[in-house]
Amino acid sequence: MAENNFTFEELSDKIMAGMHKAYRKLVEESAALGRSLVVEIDGEVREVPAKELLKQFE
């Protein structure tokens, strides 16, 4: 079995990159279907059209 010797920072960076990729995919798929997502913005929970959230990736 291969042994991975990642530092905590490297592992954390990999996890965050994976989460960002998954979030982007969720937003893109939701936007394509014309759906909204519930998100927290400035401490307030709001329902936002996915197409609006997609703009943050541009």
Q: Domain ranges in the chain?
A: 25-58
What tens digit of pLDDT does each residue of 21-43 get? 999 999 999 999 999 999 999 99
Residue 1 predicted with pLDDT over 60: no
Higher pLDDT, 47 or 2: 47
Averaged pLDDT of the chain: 93
CB–CB of 48/39 below 8 Å? yes
Q: Which residues of 26-54 are buried (b: 16+ CB within 10 A; e: fewer)?
A: ebeebbeeeeebeeeeeeeeeeeebeebe
Among 3, 2, 6, smallest CA distance to 17 is for 6
Distance CA 2, CA 50 (A): 40
Q: What is the pTM of this model?
A: 0.79
